[in-house]
Amino acid sequence: MLAGYGLGAAPLGFSESLLALAYEAVRAVQIPMNVLILAAQLLCFLAFLRRRWLIGLTAFFDIMHIGIFLLSGALFLHWIILNSLIVAALTRMKENSFSKIAVATGIVVTIFGDAVFYNARLGWYDSRQIR
């Protein structure tokens, strides 16, 4: 947050008092928020078991990305758009739209995909702009 403010990138930075209020609010819930985010990321493979869980978790990640943008200025626009499209598609599907093979494939790829597919090693906080 403070790095984004120092760079002039934080959208809430137009008001020091508003940014200070947001900073204190985040500090007050920092540990439970980190536990919730970590749990969501570690358990995301379970979302394939229910369409509503997949919608909720995908929307949660979008809300998280929007919060990161508002607090720091780091904009994950492509992820926000992609997640929004996924939620829009999922809301138009029936609960039992995924076959058991599709569910199993989603779970296996989510758990083991890192060993097979290229995943960006996200280090957005440790970027040149912030250093």
Each residue's pLDDT tens digit, 48-91: 999 999 999 999 999 999 998 888 888 889 999 999 999 999 99
Report which DSSP code applies to 74: -
pLDDT attached to residue 123: 59
Report how far residue 69's alpha carbon sits from residue 64's, in angstroms, rounded to the nearest whole number.
9
Weakest mean pLDDT among 9-18, 62-71, 97-106: 9-18
Report how far residue 131's alpha carbon sits from residue 121's, in angstroms, rounded to the nearest whole number.
18
pLDDT attached to residue 33: 93
Report how far residue 19's alpha carbon sits from residue 10's, in angstroms, rounded to the nearest whole number.
9
pLDDT attached to residue 128: 55
Report how far residue 79's alpha carbon sits from residue 94's, in angstroms, rounded to the nearest whole number.
24
Band of pLDDT at residue 129, cut at 50, 70 and 90: low
Q: Which residue has the tokens 């970027």?
A: 127
Indicate if the pLDDT at residue 9 is higher than 50.
yes
Q: Where are the domains of the chain?
A: 2-126
